[in-house]
Amino acid sequence: MLSIKNLHASVEGKEILKGINLEIKAGEVHAIMGPNGSGKSTLAQVLAGNDAFEVTSGSVTMHGEDLLEKATEERARDGVFLAFQYPVEIPGVSNLQFMRTSVNAMRHHRGESEMNAAEFMKLAREISKQVDLDPAFLKRGVNEGFSGGEKKRNEIMQALMLQPKLAILDETDSGLDIDALKVVSDGVNALRAEDRAILMVTHYQRLLDHIVPDFVHVLAEGKIVKSGGRELALELEERGYAWLGIKDDETAASSALSNSAN
């Protein structure tokens, strides 16, 4: 479904991605792990088409089509979804209005009729329950005054509403307590489907206890330095990134913490 070849990308003249190669097939769940600053979010943003990042070489195709030449909204309409690491606020625009505009833009693209307000409301209420968000939040401004956990659940809710072909989840687990993590993981597991691929970016392996990936890749300094099955994540948890010769103080500390908590 998705084929990334020798992808290089930079921001403000600084090279961040230094030759990424990755093949993802429909139905698969891939996890990208790596220390802070290794380029995980950059990869996610480049795939979604954020033009703050410049692709300097390499190619990305989805379903055989050149993804990189498409505008952000075209990619989205073709089924690329990004759950943001830091979802931005849009004051005064209700979540409901935002999601309805989004859903209808996608439907319009597929030549389907727009969803009316009542139909949409019904769907939105169901899915908000699925991610444990009070339907009252639908009336609030997009991410306006949301807690960290609410923002992440809101992102998953949007993924569930839009049913994308490729869901890229950027640290959807960070800052969540155990209960919220369970809700979010259930949401992601509900997304798993034959015709859908999921690319999960995470800093910690604990998410992978809930969402079992088919493949795990370790990103360091803009390159994938190791790939494997889910056992790679477990090995990382035990041995830390240092085992791969990667410097990462924070993860070492936090993995020590989570070890002692277990």
175, 152 contact by CB (below 8 A): yes
Nearest to 218 by CA among 197, 195, 244, 255: 244
* Six token digits for residue 37: 């600053």
40 binding ligand ADP? (CB under 6 A): yes
Q: Among 2, 4, 20, 41, which residue sits at the site for Mg ion (rule: CB under 5 A)? A: 41
Measured at the alpha carbon of residue 27, what is the angle toward residues 98 and 19, in degrees to the nearest 5? 85
Q: Among 26, 55, 68, 90, which residue sits at the site for another protein (rule: CB under 8 A)? A: 90
Complete DSSP assignment for 207-249: HHHHS--SEEEEEETTEEEEEESTHHHHHHHHH-GGGGT---H
16 binding ligand ADP? (CB under 6 A): yes
Q: Among 20, 30, 38, 160, which residue sits at the site for ligand ADP (rule: CB under 6 A)? A: 38
21 binding another protein? (CB under 8 A): no
71 makes contact, choosing from ligand ADP, another protein, Mg ion, none, with CB < 5 to 8 Å by partner type, with another protein
207, 32 contact by CB (below 8 A): no
In terms of CB distance, is 1 or 20 closer to ligand ADP?
Answer: 20
146 binding another protein? (CB under 8 A): no
248, 241 contact by CB (below 8 A): yes
71 binding another protein? (CB under 8 A): yes
Binding residues vs ligand ADP (CB under 6 A): 11-12, 16, 34, 36-42, 52
Binding residues vs another protein (CB under 8 A): 48-52, 71-73, 76-77, 80-82, 84, 87-93, 97-99, 101-102, 105-106, 109, 141-142, 158, 162
